Amino acid sequence: MASLAKQRALWASLSKQAGVSRSLRSSSIQGQTAVPLEEEFKNAKPTSEIPGPKVYPLVGTLPGMLLSKDFKNNAYHKYYIAQHVKYGSIFRMVIPGLDPVVVMTDPDDCETLLRSTMHNPLRMPIASLKAVRDEAIEDFFQKKTGLLLENGDEWWRVRSKVQTPMMKPKLVGTYLQQMDQVSIDFTDRIAELQAEHGEMPSDFQFELYKWALESVGLVALNRRLGCLDPNISASSDSLRLIEIVNDIFQALNDTEVSAGIWKIIPTSSYKKLKERHEQFLEVAVRNVQETEAAILAQDPDSERELSLMENLLMTEGLSKKDVVTLILDMLFAGIDTTSHTLGFTLYLLARNPEVQAKLQAEVDTVLGDHQGPLLAKHMAQFSYMKGVVKEALRIFPLILGVGRILDKDTVLGGYVVPKGYIALSLTMLSGWDEEVFPRAKEFIPDRWSRDRPLGPIHPYASLPFGAGTRMCIGRRIAEQEMYTFLARIMQRFTVDYKYQDMDILARLVFMPSEPLRFSFTERK
């Protein structure tokens, strides 16, 4: 992890020179009386004094970004690190096609941002994907493009209806035994690959994609998709979905960092995004229809738990198109996210054998000689495992941070930031900050334990699933998938990794920079 550690060390050492203060002014952290709002505005500096790169007419700060040695499509986070080092804990950017952007690294400012926008959380747009959906074949989305992309009343209309079934532990728990079986099957797949190659092949990340789609498919489509069948055809819907979603994320990444050029001249990445999204709709909708047909074929009077899709279809205020769009987004967002997280987690466990041994000991203690499927009581006892996942997401976050469009003037970093500005909190950098997370470069899951042995953790310093009403709607599903995976992997194997240190690459969500050539040794 040398390259990643090097850039973090550079950022940490220079941030103090840039005048970064880590004094906690949040009442939730120190129990202090909050500064009255009027007084805060009175003492705040004007927007014009927010530092940042030079702004040019028409093109804003874009020339400095594109000409910077730190800016690359597949590693744009390094540009933000460099700007922070230069300008401090808050700086301003002006990008054509967007409202001005204020970027922050202080978790106190993140808390202020999310609290001040909690009643109207307007998320930064993924403009190219929304445009593609607005132009979709046969007006499929009818200008209602789903939770990922909508804001305001349309977003809340859907979110308020789906958050109870999506976040309800009992409903998510009905899929536990099936998810567990997927993870058990995946350990068999790992054993086969280990026997065949002596380690995992260089495309093991794709194997993790198959595990992820098989797992999320249980919930989204209420059935196994056959992704883990070693004889699965390359032309199957399942493998096509994975390849299409990978291409969509890459095209989205390249389109979104092009500063809106695609709006003027359709770029190759935008054309690819549109083409692959149409293919995604074709394959995914066909699978949703197959699930719907299977549901209709069942005895309506049978005693059984209703699936997530059935619960959603029966929810008053949701149209069938709303439900289909949500299922599509579950498939779209549920492949790269969990699989990349687990790739990073396995790497960290391999590089920290003492942590791996402690996790194995917890799994052994919780499961004992239990022979059946994982139960809810087992999941509740995996406290160290939950710390492992949190710590992996701190060290290797999947996103830069959380952003909101301000719906009122707000004081951030001691400056008045006007309504309409985009405010982006770089929780990636606060997660790497030694003053926020002591021994930040080390993989220490115990820091998340209840007694907080390394000191209190700012609740807004690491937000892999977001926070508040705009928190990731699939969080409970994703966590259950990852915990079952780790339980079965650690129960059966010890993982090792002997190759180049891991860094992160950007593909809309961050991913491992190196092939996941792990070795898995059967435990005795």
User: Domain boundaries in the chain?
Assistant: 2-125+402-448, 155-235+280-395+463-522
* Cα–Cα distance list, 150 to 43, 145, 466 (Å): 35, 6, 16
Percent over 70 (pLDDT), the chain:
93
pLDDT top residue among 27 and 380: 380
Residue 306: pLDDT band by 50, 70, 90 thresholds? confident
Amino acid identity of residue 320, one-letter, is K
Average pLDDT of the segment spanning 381-396: 98
Average pLDDT over residues 453-481: 95
Q: What is the mean pLDDT of residues 123-150?
A: 90
The amino acid at residue 503 is D
> What is the mean pLDDT of the segment spanning 235-245?
95
Say if strands 415-417 and 504-507 run parallel, antiparallel, or are unpaired: unpaired
pLDDT (average), residues 267-288 = 94
Q: How far apart are CA 279 and CA 246, in angstroms?
A: 12
Please name the residue that has the structure tokens 């599903």: 477
Q: Examine the pLDDT at 286 and tell me if it is beyond 80.
A: yes
Cα–Cα distance for residue pair 341/189, rounded to 1 Å: 19
Nearest Cα neighbor of 172 from 76, 335, 311 is: 311
Average pLDDT over residues 510-518: 97
Structure tokens at 478: 């994703």
Lowest average pLDDT, out of 75-79, 190-194, 352-356, goes to 75-79
Q: What pLDDT is stored for residue 35 in this prediction?
A: 56
| Distance of alpha carbon 314 from alpha carbon 320, whole angstroms | 9
Which helix (H) or strand (E) segment holds residue 214: the answer is helix 204-220
> Are 414 and 420 spatial neighbours (Cβ–Cβ below 8 Å)?
no
Question: What is residue 306's DSSP assignment?
Answer: P
pLDDT at position 36? 63
Cα angle 312, 317, 322; round to 5: 55
> Using CA atoms, how far apart are residues 123 and 107, in angstroms rounded to an integer?
18
* Cα gap 346→182, rounded to integer Å: 18
In 264-275, which positions are buried (b, 16+ CB within 10 angstroms) versus exposed (e)? eeebebbebbbe
CA 207 to CA 201: how far, in whole Å? Answer: 9
HSE of 478, CA atoms in CB hemisphere, 13 A? 22
CA distance 77 to 506: 8
Predicted TM-score of the model (pTM): 0.91
Torsional class of 229: left (φ above 0), alpha (ψ -120 to 50), beta (otherwise): beta
Q: What is the pLDDT of residue 83?
A: 96
Return the ∠ at Cα 241 (arms to 237 and 247), rounded to 5°.
Answer: 145
For 216, counting Cβ atoms within 10 Å of its Cβ (0-12 exposed, 13-18 middle, 19+ buried), the class is buried
**Mean confidence (pLDDT) of the chain:** 90
CA gyration radius, the chain: 23
Q: What is the pLDDT of residue 4?
A: 53
Contact 325, 141 (CB under 8 A): yes
Percentage of the chain with pLDDT > 90? 77
Residue 197 CA to residue 346 CA, distance in Å, equals 18
CATH architecture designation of domain 155-235+280-395+463-522: Orthogonal Bundle (1.10)
For the stretch 77-127, pLDDT in tens is 999 999 999 999 999 999 887 889 999 999 999 999 999 999 999 998 789
Confidence bin at 504 (pLDDT 50/70/90): very high
pLDDT greater than 90 at residue 22: no
The single residue listed with the structure tokens 């998810």 is 179
Query: How large is the average pLDDT for residues 500-521?
Result: 96
Residues paired with 93 in a beta bridge = 101
Checking phi first, is residue 146 left (phi over 0); if not, alpha (psi -120 to 50) or beta?
left
pLDDT-wise least confident of 24-38, 313-327, 390-404: 24-38
Mean of the pLDDT values across residues 5-25? 42
Checking if the pLDDT of 146 tops 50, the result is: yes
SS3 157: helix
Choose among 388, 340, 362, 432: nearest CA to 78.
432
Residue 5: what pLDDT? 53
Lowest mean pLDDT among 18-27, 264-273, 466-475: 18-27
315 phi and psi, to 5 degrees? -80, 120
Q: Which residue matches tokens 């609740």?
A: 459
